[in-house]
Amino acid sequence: MINSASDKAVKVLANVCLTFLSICALFPFVLLIIASFTENGVAIAEGYSFTPSKLSLAAYEYLIQEWATIGRGYLMTIIVTTIGTAVGLMMTAMFSYALMVSDLPGHNILTVMVLISMLFNGGIVASYFIYSNVMHIKDTIFALIVPGLMMNAFNIILMRNFFKDSVSKEILESARIDGAGELRIFAQMVLPLSVPILATIGLLQAIGYWNDWTNGLYYLTKRGGSAYYTIQLILNQMNEDIQFLASNSAKLGIAVDTSDMPTTTMRMAIAFIAILPVLIAYPFFQKYFVKGISVGAVKG
């Protein structure tokens, strides 16, 4: 009875703490949304607030005016995220399955290579040289996809651990005795039993592709690669342009009225538009995400 009462007390305390932390995590998002609907002058004079004195849709009206460009960026982001996630997930799954097979020739060498990549990397300069001068992906759509396909060692270890702990060795051995090849075992037995970890790693990779803008910054130029700008790059460019006009129109002698430009609140609107698809998609993957992380990270 004492243990039962103490267990309940611990659960209640844990729920209270987690609820408090969840609310704290939601506050920035709520403030972000409210700030994006705040009148620009009020945001500048009073700062961001949960209860602004005046609301405005000016930031979103400005973005709607540029929707032709923004829509193209969304389409490009969807294409890059879909292709990159699908190919990257399959590469990670195949590599992880190979590491799970302990009698694979070169198994120890592959394992050491994965572990080393968790500690060291070639750096930006070497990567830029390889992608630009050897693979020639600069100013192409591959500049947004290929760098993300270089598999994350953490994801590989996570998926390998899931395979080892969740896929019965007896089932795999029975399939081999019946004459099934490794590719058939992987496709028809391992993958169907690994939906949680596939959803987890897929979500992580999709978020990485969706939020990525550094690859575009490095490998896409305005002259040759602007057609491949994703939503992150376009919104960042719009933010820079409006800031430039607001700060330098008088110096350059350009007749542009910048007084009504939502220079401050537009940053919040840009951020909200960029994260909205992720916020919508995450609840559908949450149950797989929790199971995949908890099972895959238990054992090494």
Residue 283 placed within a domain: yes
* Percent of the chain residues topping a pLDDT of 90: 10
Report whether pLDDT(219) > 80.
yes
Q: How distant is the alpha carbon of residue 226 from its chain centre?
A: 22
What is the SS3 assignment for 210-246?
HHCCHHHHHHCCCCCCHHHCCHHHHHHHHHHHHHHHH
pLDDT of residue 300: 45
The Cα–Cα gap between 291 and 243 comes to 44
Residue 289 counted as domain residue: yes
**Helix count and strand count (H, E) for the chain:** 14, 0
Give the count of domains, the chain. 1
pLDDT > 70? residue 296: no
Dihedral sign computed on CA atoms, order 39, 43, 46, 47? positive
For residue 161, is pLDDT > 90?
A: no
The sign of the torsion formed by the CA atoms of 142, 240, 222, 121 equals: negative
In a domain, 169, yes or no: yes
Please determine, for residue 23, whether its predicted confidence score (pLDDT) is greater than 70: yes
Q: Is the pLDDT of residue 1 over 50?
A: no
Q: Is residue 20 in a domain?
A: no
Rounded to the nearest 10 degrees, what angle do helices 231-252 and 265-296 cross at? 160
- Does residue 55 sit within a domain? no
Q: Which residue has the higher pLDDT, 186 or 4?
A: 186
CATH code for the domain in which residue 212 is found:
1.10.3720.10
pLDDT of 124:
82
Task: Give the up-direction half-sphere exposure of residue 271: CA atoms within 13 A in the CB hemisphere.
Answer: 15
Quote the pLDDT of residue 142: 92
Cα–Cα distance for residue pair 292/288, rounded to 1 Å: 6
Measured CA to CA, the distance from residue 52 to residue 49 in angstroms comes to 5
17 pLDDT above the threshold of 90:
yes
In a domain, 148, yes or no: yes
The single-letter DSSP state of residue 135 is: S
Specify the range with the lowest mean pLDDT, choosing from 53-57, 72-76, 195-199, 287-291: 287-291
Domain that holds residue 239: 60-296
